[in-house]
Amino acid sequence: MPPKKHKLDDGEETDSASPSSQKIKKETIKSTKVKTEKKPKIEKHKKEKLEGKKTEINAPSKCGKEVKEKVLALHGDEAIELILKYLRDQNRPYSATEISANLHGKVGKAVADKLLKEMSEMGKIKSKSTRGNEKGSQWIFWSLQDSTDNIGPEDLNQMDDEIKELKENIKELKVKLKANTKILETLKSTPTTKELISNIEKLRIENNAKKERLHEYKNGENKIVTREEMSKVDKELVYWTNKQMARKRAFQCLEDLLLETKTREELWEEAGIEEDAG
């Protein structure tokens, strides 16, 4: 049978047995494979993008750290009142930057600088620059001082005299303090009333016990031993202890001789010797 002919896209027929037709078949198969392989890659890329977007949406802000609540900045009269109160409470000079930082952002730096200069011009506070009116000079601001605090020279002299008197009094008080501390130490070392009462009771009990023993000795219930009798007993004790040691040595020598022929148990049974309890 003749070989089958295949139709091409252009409508031409080709012989399946010819090499050109086989090449065309291979090329068409490869192109279809490439197209099919590219599709899943594109789909994977799209999926990764979508997952990345999801993770970005679900990710917590600032690497999981809690976002601090923003402090509402004050303006106008509220800011002026806050700055005035702060300067009065602290009662020392500050720059606009320091005031803004110390108020923790409640009044911005630019707003604080503007309001402080306005208040200085209105006479609500005092101000001074480091270089006069030159550019780049730093301004400092402080609250108004009370006019009643002004003291004259007579008052100052009187205050100096009072200070001298107080210093002298301090010296006298220090001397008294030393004396009183010594008295306090002696009082602490002495027993209290409760301790004295308990000590007296203990001494009474001891005295009664000693009286009873003395009464027994006087009535003859307990025999009183003289010194001569005690020395005699001590001499006898020494004598008999020496005798005991000598007899023990003699017994051990004799026992060693007899143990050459017999055991100790057999020897003691025959001789009727019993071991001392001590």
98: domain CATH number is 1.10.10.10
pLDDT tier, 84 (very low <50, low <70, confident <90, very high otherwise): confident
Residue 209 lies in a domain: no
Residue 105 lies in a domain: yes
Residue 84 lies in a domain: yes
**pLDDT of res. 92:** 83
pLDDT digits 0-9 by tens, 209-245:
999 888 887 777 777 788 899 999 999 999 999 999 9
Encode burial over 64-89: b for 16+ CB neighbours within 10 A, e otherwise.
eeeeeeeeeebeeeebbebbbebbee
d(CA 148, CA 126): 17
The better pLDDT of the pair 4, 255 is held by 255
Q: Which of 121, 143, 165 lies at the terminal end of a domain, its last residue?
A: 143
d(CA 154, CA 26): 120
- Segment 19-32 shows an average pLDDT of 52
Which whole-number Å values give the CA distances from 90 to 41, 53, 93, 170, in the listed order? 69, 52, 8, 32
Using alpha carbons, select from 54, 62, 96 the residue that is nearest to residue 79: 96
Residue 242 lies in a domain: yes
Q: Which of 91, 122, 143 lies at the terminal end of a domain, its last residue?
A: 143
Q: Which of 143, 173, 190 lies at the terminal end of a domain, its last residue?
A: 143
CA-based R_g, the chain, Å: 59
Query: Two tokens at 56?
Result: 């970005």
Residue whose tokens read 């320091």: 98
**pLDDT of res. 13:** 44
pLDDT digits 0-9 by tens, 103-152:
887 888 888 888 888 888 888 888 888 766 667 678 888 888 766 556 67
**pLDDT of res. 36:** 47
pLDDT tier, 62 (very low <50, low <70, confident <90, very high otherwise): very low
Count of domains forming the chain: 2
User: Which pairing describes strands 13-15 and 5-7: parallel, antiparallel, or unpaired?
Assistant: antiparallel
Q: Is 52's pLDDT higher than 60?
A: no
- Segment 36-48 shows an average pLDDT of 47
What is the amino acid identity at position 116?
L
Phi and psi at residue 13, to the nearest 5°: -100, 140
Q: Is 51's pLDDT higher than 60?
A: no
CA atoms lying within 13 Å on the CB side of residue 244: 8
Percent of the chain with pLDDT over 70: 69
pTM of the model: 0.31
- Full residue range of the structural domain in which residue 232 is found: 228-271
**pLDDT of res. 139:** 83
